[in-house]
Amino acid sequence: MDSALLAALVTGAAVLLAAVLTPLVRWALQTIPRKKGSRAATDLIYRIGFFCFLSFLILGLVVTVCLLVHATGKYRCITPQFGRALCFQLQANSTMYLHHQSAEPLPTTVQWLSPPVHELGDTDYYQTQAHPPAAYAVTTVPTTREPSQCLYFESHLRPVCSWTGFMLTKAVTLPAADLSKATEMVLLLKADHFDFLELGVRDETGNESKLKVPVGSGWNGYIISVSEFKRVNMEAITYLIVAHSSAVSVEPNNRFWVALLDFR
């Protein structure tokens, strides 16, 4: 079970149990000692009840905080510059599987590409060509360490108005990421088939910018200029979005392994 979901369940259970126990403790303090005990017995029951009640609430809070810290730290090796974040599944009229797992082994050499991208407007979704562009610009970058973890993302789209994906969010309690000094987004990804993905960022005011990015089959690295995200404040980014949609994709059934989604 995902740590964030488990934290929510622990918190809910603590609140529910506290709500149930509160009237019972109040009844015991007001009724039982009055009938069978002295003032000293009343004070003892009150102290024991208060200690147990407070201990349970503190334990629930500590467990919840630990689970949330674990949940927000799971993806730091994938998005180190973005920092701590929670991962949520995105899905509409489709089927998908999303797992955080050990990374697939990289080949001996990985080609790093600078593919042509296109920013998607609110009504700018259209079906793209079924074959990759004639050539990508190949860029030499420093060797990336072998990834230890990745997000496995399996997508099964329907022909019309369907999409799958995931978002990494700073949520309400985490500060937005300042990516204004970054010049490039670096993506290390494995795909079963050539396809188009939507890569998006959203700032704390709700402005969002998405790019249509062609990705090849197998392991490849992609370098995308941050200047392509034109409608957001890069000083306060709260969401990273990766989506596979029937509007821009050419393969309704595809699998992706995202090992790095970084900014530099």
> Strand 195-203 vs strand 208-215: parallel, antiparallel, or unpaired?
antiparallel
Instruction: Output the pLDDT for position 187.
Output: 93
Task: Locate the DSSP E strands across 137-178.
Answer: 137-138, 149-157, 163-169
Considering only 1-15, 99-113, 173-187, 250-264, which range has the smallest mean pLDDT? Answer: 1-15
Residue 259 has pLDDT above 80, yes or no: yes
Instruction: Output the pLDDT for position 189.
Output: 92
197 φ, ψ (degrees, to nearest 5): -115, 160
Mean pLDDT of 156-179: 89
Give CA–CA dist 178/235, Å, rounded: 4
Signed CA dihedral, 155, 221, 230, 213: sign only: negative
For residues 142 and 45, the model is more confident at 45
Residue type, 202: R
Residue 263 has pLDDT above 90, yes or no: yes
Instruction: Output the pLDDT for position 128.
Output: 47
Instruction: Output the pLDDT for position 57.
Output: 73
Contact assessment for residue 222 and residue 189, using Cβ atoms and an 8 Å cutoff:
yes
Instruction: Output the pLDDT for position 130.
Output: 43
Instruction: Output the pLDDT for position 8.
Output: 63
pLDDT digits (tens, 9 = 90+) for 22-55: 676 666 666 655 555 566 766 776 777 777 777 7
Signed CA dihedral, 120, 124, 130, 131: sign only: negative
Residue 254 has pLDDT above 80, yes or no: yes
Instruction: Output the pLDDT for position 133.
Output: 45
> Strand 149-157 vs strand 94-102: parallel, antiparallel, or unpaired?
antiparallel
Q: Residue 44 gets which letter from DSSP?
A: H
For residues 201 and 12, the model is more confident at 201
Q: How confident is the model at residue 82 (pLDDT cuts 50, 70, 90)?
A: very high
> Would you state the CATH architecture of domain 86-263?
Sandwich (2.60)
Q: Helix (H, G, I), strand (E, B), or coil: what is residue 250? A: coil
For residues 212 and 66, the model is more confident at 212
